[in-house]
Amino acid sequence: MSYTRPYSSAAEHHRTSVEYVRPTEGRRLSLQSASAFTAATQVPFNLARRFPHLVHMDEDRINRPNFDELELIWGAARFDWRRNYAVHLWYRLWKDVSPYFHGVEPNDDNVKTWNSTFGEMARAILYGSERLARAPVL
């Protein structure tokens, strides 16, 4: 069972309480005033610097392709996504400002012929195969 108390303000809503155990002492440290951004990025980064023997950083398998590499997701260039933990699609950025959006949003049918990394990922998820289907002859 979990309990969430109501927030009294929007500012409080954006704050989070984070606790972690200091590995060498087993003592809990509380970060009551840390923002969600700080708790999710700065705290792990500082812990990794402080305890490098306990942390393995694998930057290429978490945030690649990034927002500067939309062509690797939506364009003709390819990215081997299979070893990634996750892939951020940058969907709104793709639709709003990228040269790779041509007015057609993906759906279950048209991804069969999308020749892009996104098309590969979609086909693998939807159909169990990354193989590009032939475009229908009209």
**Angle 90-81-105 (CA atoms, 0-180°, nearest 5)?**
40
- Statement to judge: residues 46 and 74 lie in one domain: no
Task: For residue 45, give its domain range.
Answer: 10-57
pLDDT level of residue 109 (50, 70, 90 thresholds): very high
pLDDT level of residue 30 (50, 70, 90 thresholds): low
| Number of CB atoms found within 10 A of residue 108's CB | 9
pLDDT tens, 58-95?
878 888 999 999 999 999 999 999 999 889 999 999 99
- Statement to judge: residues 97 and 83 lie in one domain: yes
- Statement to judge: residues 40 and 70 lie in one domain: no
Residue 133 lies in a domain: no
From CA 47, how far away is CA 53, in angstroms rounded?
11
- Statement to judge: residues 66 and 89 lie in one domain: yes
Residue 23 lies in a domain: yes
* N-terminal to C-terminal alpha carbon distance within the chain: 57
Residue type, 86: A
Residue 3 lies in a domain: no
**Statement: the pTM of the whole predicted model exceeds 0.85:** no
Residue 88 lies in a domain: yes
Total domains, the chain:
2
In the block, tokens 């392709």 appear at 65
pLDDT tens, 120-132?
999 999 999 999 8
- Statement to judge: residues 45 and 80 lie in one domain: no
- Statement to judge: residues 37 and 69 lie in one domain: no
- Statement to judge: residues 66 and 23 lie in one domain: no
Residue 5 lies in a domain: no
Residue 25's alpha-carbon distances to 21, 47, 54, 102, 118, in angstroms, are 8, 14, 14, 56, 46
Chain mean pLDDT for the chain: 78
